[in-house]
Amino acid sequence: MDGGGARSVSPVPVLAAKGISKRFGAVQALTRVDFEVYAGEVVALVGDNGAGKSTLIKCIAGAHHPDEGEIFVEGQEVKIHTPADATRLGIETVYQDLALCDNLDVVANMFLGRERAEPRGLGPLDELGMEKRSLDVLESLDVTTIRSVRTPVASLSGGQRQSVAISRAVMWNSKLVILDEPTAALGVAQTAQVLALIKRLRDQGLGVVVITHNIQEVFEVADRIIVLRLGRRVATFEQRKATPEDVVGAIMGAAPRAA
């Protein structure tokens, strides 16, 4: 299944933001931005520093509250006031600084804050069940390089850590995963690992948003490319019909070419 195919199957976007504006004091960070992600596609959100990428993502993830605009999840209007609201709606965000506990093992990190412990969270942890589920999730995402899920994540490589963070985000019936510069600190082989993982998320029918500065990567994983410039959405490209020059031009403020 590829992005274009999935889109024609489900015409209602898994997430749609309409007319989002956000102002910080004198700075207009976002001006009436529309944004939509369909199930089973990877959207690359690109733009220069200060274009409003992070602000837009934080409005969707519940970290910021937009001044204006509406957000729809699968066609239903929703209010997202806190990160917990976003999580409940199936929107997971993996920030650049991973938010893993280095001293805990892979299983403990994947279940952090959502441990299984009967009865009512007061009894002993269900380590066995959690370990099995972690293995299943990693296997279903084809994350094969982690030797043991009982090693502390501190001993994992950057790519493995990113894989754990992403796997954790998608194991809770999430519909949309937002990845903030997922390959920023990684080497070549590890970047390839993470990009392959992103494609598998798409193949499993999730909507994926990737913020990145790397145009080559954009063309490797994204189905659609949305360009922000100075707080406005200035261009949208179908990956297959665009060239890197088009995208860079839009980022730099050359004549916009809306899709």
Output the smallest distance, CB 16 to another protein, in A.
Answer: 25
β-sheet with 232-238: strand ranges across: 91-94, 176-180, 207-211, 42-46, 224-229, 232-238
What is the binding site for another protein (CB under 8 A)? 83-84, 87, 95, 98-104, 108, 112-115, 117, 121-125, 128, 131-132, 135, 138-139, 143-144, 146-152, 154-155, 157
Q: How far apart are alpha carbons 201 and 60 in whole angstroms?
A: 19
Residue 49, C-beta contacts closer than 8 angstroms, at least 6 positions apart: none
State which residue, 10 or 157, has the beta carbon closest to another protein: 157
103: phi > 0 → left, psi -120 to 50 → alpha, else beta; which? alpha
CA 142 to chain centroid, in Å, comes to: 18
Q: How far is the CB of 90 from another protein (least distance, A)?
A: 15
Nearer to another protein, 162 or 239 (CB): 162
Closest approach, Cβ 235 to another protein, in A, equals 32
Instruction: Using the minimum distance from each CB to another protein, give the nearer residue, 111 or 237.
Output: 111
3-state secondary structure of 99: coil
Minimum distance from residue 230 beta carbon to another protein (Å): 30
DSSP state of 103: T
Rounded least distance, CB 156 to another protein, Å: 8
25 or 113: whose CB is closer to another protein?
Answer: 113
Q: Can you say how many angstroms the Cα of residue 46 is from the centroid of all Cα atoms in its chain?
A: 13
Nearest residue (CB) to another protein, 77 versus 118: 118
Q: How far apart are CA 146 and CA 163, in angstroms?
A: 9
Nearer CB in complex with another protein: 57/149: 149
Q: How far is the CB of 109 from another protein (least distance, A)?
A: 8
74 versus 127: smaller Cβ distance to another protein: 127
Q: Residue 174 CB, nearest distance to another protein (Å)? A: 14
Q: Alpha carbon 246 to chain centroid distance? A: 24
Cα–Cα distance, 7 to 11 (Å, whole number): 6
CA dist 147 and 201 (Å) reads 22
Nearest one of 154, 208, 168 to 39, comparing CA atoms: 208
